[in-house]
Structure 1
Amino acid sequence: MIQRQLVTKGVAQLLVTVTGKPVGVGKVPINPATGQPYPPPYTLLYPLDHNSTDGTLADRGAAAVSTYQATFVSGPTPGQATSAGMVEQAEWLADKGRTGIMARPADGGPGYLNALTIPGVNCFYREAFDAGATSDQNDAIMTTVIRFRLYLETAA
């Protein structure tokens, strides 16, 4: 069985690695040193579908397809009343996330450039779908949304 919680942790860590910015799973990321929310830009990660099979008599391996929504957030600078999120910043962060997750090795080798680390699990295929952008004029927040679908199997 491929545990969804382990997949979520792996995806969140991969997004931190490729964007260089904090990621919150289902909520604004919190700085552990201060206990306060990180200021934008950051990524909100939402687990969506997780469909799995636990193998058969002929094949003891498990497989799963997991879908995640990454919401890349640009917002106002704390303490600056006239600041606001910018489309450019949200798109910049989304591009870093998409490119980092989907990048293939430059030499044409198999797999992906940036590893998705999930103990005992191999991600053999990835897809990315732009789900659009939103803005909240009252909060001066801009977002860009990408959904990632991951095809997983237990490692041999």
Structure 2
Amino acid sequence: MIDRQPVTDAVMTLLAILTGKPVGLEAVPIDPATNQPCPPPYTLLYPLDHSSDDGTLADRHSAAVSDYQATFVSGPTPGKPDSRGTGVQSQWLADKGRKVIERPVDGSPGYRYPLTIPDVECYCREAREAGGTSEPGDAIITSVIRFRFYLETSA
């Protein structure tokens, strides 16, 4: 069986690498240096469905499909009282995050950026835009992408 937590950890790590910004699991990420919430921009990751049943009688639970929602959060510039989050900033962050599904530039099989999960291979990745939100009172704008990962054990 493929456990969910290692998949979530790998997705969070990959999004942090690709965006260069912090990622929080269902909550605003915390800056380890200050133990305070990070200011935007950042990404919020929400685990959605996780299925390990392939629907066959001989199912050994050696495969799984995991869905996630990544909310890319724009916001005001710290220390600048009249600043606001912008659609440009949230789209820039989403564009970086969308690289999760980017293929190698040389045309070789697989994905350009590895999703490193112990004893698990990700053989297919999908991303679909799910819109975004704005919260003018908080000066926050978001872009949302839902990712789906098709996984199988490699050991």
Q: TM-score, normalised by structure 1?
A: 0.93
How many matched pairs? 155
- Please give the alpha-carbon distance, in whole angstroms, between the structure 2 residues aligned to 1:54 and 1:76: 45
Amino acid at match of 2:92: W
Counterpart for residue 74 of structure 1: 74
Shift of 1:121: 0.5
Counterpart for residue 140 of structure 1: 139
Structure 1, residues 17-67: CA drift from partner, whole Å, max 9, x if none? 111111001000111111011111110000000011389886756110000
Gaps of 5+ in 2: none
Identical-pair percentage: 66
Counterpart for residue 43 of structure 2: 43
Gaps of 5+ in 1: none
Counterpart for residue 100 of structure 2: 101
Give the root-mean-square deviation of aligned CA atoms.
1.7
Structure 1, residues 120-156: CA drift from partner, whole Å, max 9, x if none? 1000000001000110011000000000000000014
Q: Provide closer, same or farther for how the CA distance between residues 29 and 75 of structure 1 changes in structure 2, counting only shifts above 3 A.
A: same
- Please give the alpha-carbon distance, in whole angstroms, between the structure 2 residues aligned to 1:133 and 1:59: 37
Amino acid at match of 1:96: K
Counterpart for residue 127 of structure 2: 128
Q: Provide closer, same or farther for how the CA distance between residues 52 and 87 of structure 1 changes in structure 2, counting only shifts above 3 A.
A: same
Counterpart for residue 152 of structure 1: 151
Shift of 1:80: 2.0
Q: TM-score, normalised by structure 2?
A: 0.94
